[in-house]
Amino acid sequence: MKPEYTKPPYRITPEVFELAMSVSEKIGKVDSSVLARPNAELRKRNRIRTIQSSLAIEGNSLTLEEVTAILNNKRVLGPPKDILEVKNAIAVYDRLDSFNPLSIQSFCDAHNILMNGLVSKPGAFRTGAVGVFKGPVVVHIAPPASMVRSHMNNLFRYLTTDKDFPLIKSCVFHYETEFIHPFPDGNGRMGRLWQTVILMQYSPLFEFLPVESLIKARQSEYYNVLDESDKLGDSTPFIEFMLRVINDSLEELLDEQSGKLTLEDRMEIYRTSIGADAFARKDYMKHFRDISGATASRYLKWAVDRGVLEKTGDKRTTRYRFVR
């Protein structure tokens, strides 16, 4: 029997439902268009945008070009703290697929990497009081340190046990991390990072989707909906905001990638899908709905001529198989 938990307060409004359906539909389009695996250049560019944007939200001064230089092991002149933040973020995002979204220890391990050298005890929950300031004004007082462990245990039980849609749970977790403020510093970064870790279990494409860049572009609204949710006592406004951001980020990916898959990309992607099984031209076309029969025949012939595929049969009995 799974441990009991108290469900964080939020509502499934018509907007939440419609946005969740829109996100699901776009993920379906990405998958059916075989855009779930962006090419290496796009993946790298999106990862840089993610890191630079998430850190810029917290006041890091380094530009996209400077983050790119650090990623390429080039020397950058800038505040040592900002450079260390970037290096730590690169390290943690490089290990995204190693984190367990349902493990509180994995969550702390990620914070240890992200905040190494930036706080005295990275990876450890805070032991003192903390507040969030906007200038001289306190806009949020986090729960007492004595309650942090129980709040986080409850939040992870919610992730593990609750039957709500993963998209919604990822937004709730992001908000609750901001609300609880489990660490002395780095809570905003961890909320955004862990939402990505959760979403990657829903669809692998979230590993390289630069959601943070859209949050950065809407930073004022981001903080406003956090404040609005605090005042309401539930995370509904924040969930709606984050689902809009995810929806728009997917739309951007579809626009950017549409029509840019090379023939080699398609063959490699289909190899991953079909494995060692034999297939017909119609099977290939079901996977790539954006190409005609003549185009599919030309692509398959190209792969046969280059030894990528082997062909057996003739006409209606023609079958193909990837050469190992």
In terms of domains, do 55 and 108 share one? Answer: yes
- In this prediction, residue 266 carries a pLDDT of 82
Q: Where is pLDDT greater, at 36 or 131?
A: 131
In terms of domains, do 122 and 271 share one? Answer: no
| Closest alpha carbon to 174 in 140, 157, 199 | 199
- Out of 28-42, 128-142, 151-165, 234-248, pick the least confident: 28-42
In a domain, 228, yes or no: yes
Structure tokens belonging to residue 155 = 């939040």
Calpha distance 256→250 (Å, rounded): 10
Q: Where is pLDDT greater, at 147 or 288?
A: 147
Residue where a domain stops, chosen among 222, 257, 292 = 257
- In this prediction, residue 95 carries a pLDDT of 94
Q: What are phi and psi of 261, to 5 degrees?
A: -70, 130
Domain range for residue 305? 263-322
Which bin fits 125, alpha (ψ -120 to 50), beta or left (φ > 0)? beta
Domain harbouring 81, CATH code: 1.10.3290.10
What single DSSP character describes residue 322? E
What Å distances lie between residue 76 and 29, 59, 84, 85, 87, CA to CA? 40, 18, 11, 13, 11
According to the 3-state scheme, what is the secondary structure of 128-186? CCCEEEECCEEEEECCCHHHHHHHHHHHHHHHHHCCCCHHHHHHHHHHHHHHHCCCCCC
Residue where a domain stops, chosen among 238, 257, 276 = 257
Residue where a domain stops, chosen among 210, 226, 257 = 257
In terms of domains, do 278 and 252 share one? Answer: no
In terms of domains, do 267 and 253 share one? Answer: no
Domain harbouring 301, CATH code: 1.10.10.10
Query: For residue 33, what pLDDT band results from cuts at 50, 70 and 90?
Result: low
Residue 263 has pLDDT above 90, yes or no: no
Q: What is the pLDDT of residues 163-201, one digit of tens each?
A: 999 999 999 999 999 999 999 999 999 999 999 999 999
Q: Which residue has the tokens 């796009």?
A: 42
In a domain, 29, yes or no: yes
Average pLDDT for 111-118: 97
Count of structural domains, the chain: 2
In a domain, 3, yes or no: no
